[in-house]
Chain A
C-alpha cells in the first residue's frame, strides 16, 4: 500500500490503537504526543513530541508507531518536534478517563504557560488530587517523583491506598 491510497484520517485512527509503552491503557494519540500526520509523495510522516526531554520511552514509541503502520502495509518516517513543548492539556478527555480507570489520577490543573511559571518555583499548595480508587479528595503527596518521570506518588487518607498521579506539566 502506498501513502497515496491511505487517508490521513485513517492513519490517525490506526495510531489511536498504539498504546503508550509505560501506560498501556492510553494510546499515543490520547496522550497528545502525536502532533502531525502528513503524506508526502509516497511517504507517511508522523511527527511526535517528547513528554519529558529525557523520556526513555520515545525510542520505543517511535518504533511502535512504525510497526503499527507497517502492519497496515504503510511505511512511515518519524520526526520529532520540540516546539511547542508538550503539555498535559493535550491529553484527551477519554485518555484522562482511561488513566483514572487504570488507577492513575489524571492531571487536574490546566497547565500554565511559561510566563506564569515564576509562581511555581516557591512551595505552593499541592493540587487537589482525587483518589482514583475511592474518589476521596483527601489525599496527600508522598513523593514528588514516581515510577516514571511523568508521575508523582500520592496516598489516599480515606481508603489508605497509595496511587500514582500524572503530574501537571
Chain B
C-alpha cells in the first residue's frame, strides 16, 4: 500500500462523509418541521461543508495532481466517492433524518476525538477545529432522539422504525480495510475496536434514555461505500450537486 495513496483516500473518506451529509441536509432548508429545526439543519450542514473543505483541500495537496477541493467535490463520479453508505440514505421522515444524524454524529464525534491525537499535524488541526462543532451536533441530535423516543406513542414508533432501518448502515465505519489499517499503522487514525466500543456505549446510553430498543450488535452491516460501491441514491445526489459544473465546466462566481 502506497502511503501517499492511502492517506489521500483516507482524507477523501472524511471529506466525502461530511460533504454528502451536508448536501442532503441542505435539501431540507426551508422544509424543516419547525423553524428551530430548519435553522439547526442548515447550520449543521454549513459546519459539515466547512469541514469538507478542510479535508478535501488537504486531500488535493497530498495527491498533488492539481485538484483542489472544488474539483474533488464537483468533478468526481459516484465510483470515486468514498463516503459511508449511511450518509447517502434518504432524508425520509424527520425521524429518519434525525436518527441518521444521531448515528453519524455519535461516530463522527469519537472519530474526531481520536484524530486530535493523530500523528499527522494537519489532521490534528482539522479534527481539533471540527470537534467543537461536532460536539454541539451530537448534543443536539442525542437530545432530540431522547425527546422523540420518549415522546408520544407515534413519535416513539417512528423513531424505533427509523433506528431499525438505519442500523445496518451504522457499522461500515468500523469495518476497516487496507486503507484504514495503513492509517492505524502510521498512527494517523484510531483503531476500529476502541472507536466501535465508544460509539456503541454512547448510543446505548442515549437509546436507553429514549426508551428505544437497541438493535442486535451481531446484525449484518452493509459495506462498500468506503471502497466506492454505493447505493443507487448517490448518483442522484451527485447529479443535483454537480449539475452546474457539469453543464458549465469551470463556471465561477
> Chain A interface (Cβ within 8 Å of chain B)?
50, 52-56, 82-85, 114, 117-118, 120-124, 142-147, 149, 153, 167, 169
Contact = CB atoms under 8 A, between A and B. Distances in A.
Nearest to A153: B36
Interface centre among B116, B132, B140 (most CB of A within 10 A): B132
Contacts of B53: 53-54
A77 to B, nearest CB: 18
A110 B113 CA distance: 20
B40 A117 contact: no
Given A53-B54, A120-B135, A149-B43, 4 more contacts: A53-B47, A114-B113, A121-B135, A153-B36
A51 to B, nearest CB: 10
Contact of B131 (A55, A114, A145): A114
B139 interface: yes
Interface in B26-41: 35-36, 39-40
A40 to B, nearest CB: 23
B142 A117 contact: no
Main secondary structure of the interface of B (DSSP, over half): helix
A142 B146 CA distance: 17
Contacts of A144: 36, 40, 136, 139-140
Contact of B139 (A52, A122, A143, A153): A122
A56 B46 contact: yes
A84 B132 CA distance: 12
B46 A149 contact: yes
A121 B47 contact: no
Chain B interface size, under 10 / 10 to 19 / 20 to 34 / 35 or more: 35 or more
23 contacts: A53-B47, A53-B50, A53-B53, A54-B46, A54-B48, A82-B54, A82-B129, A83-B125, A117-B132, A117-B135, A121-B135, A121-B139, A121-B142, A122-B142, A122-B206, A123-B139, A124-B139, A142-B36, A143-B39, A144-B36, A145-B40, A145-B42, A149-B46
Given A117-B113, A123-B139, A52 B133 contact: yes
A82 B146 contact: no
B51 interface: yes
A162 to B, nearest CB: 12
B146 A145 contact: no
Nearest to B22: A54
Contact of A53 (B42, B133, B136, B143): B133
A125 to B, nearest CB: 12
B113 A123 contact: no
A133 B139 CA distance: 28
B130 interface: yes
Contact of B50 (A52, A84, A123, A124): A52
Contacts of A84: 128
Contact of A52 (B47, B113, B202): B47
Nearest to B42: A145
B81 interface: no
Nearest to B41: A145
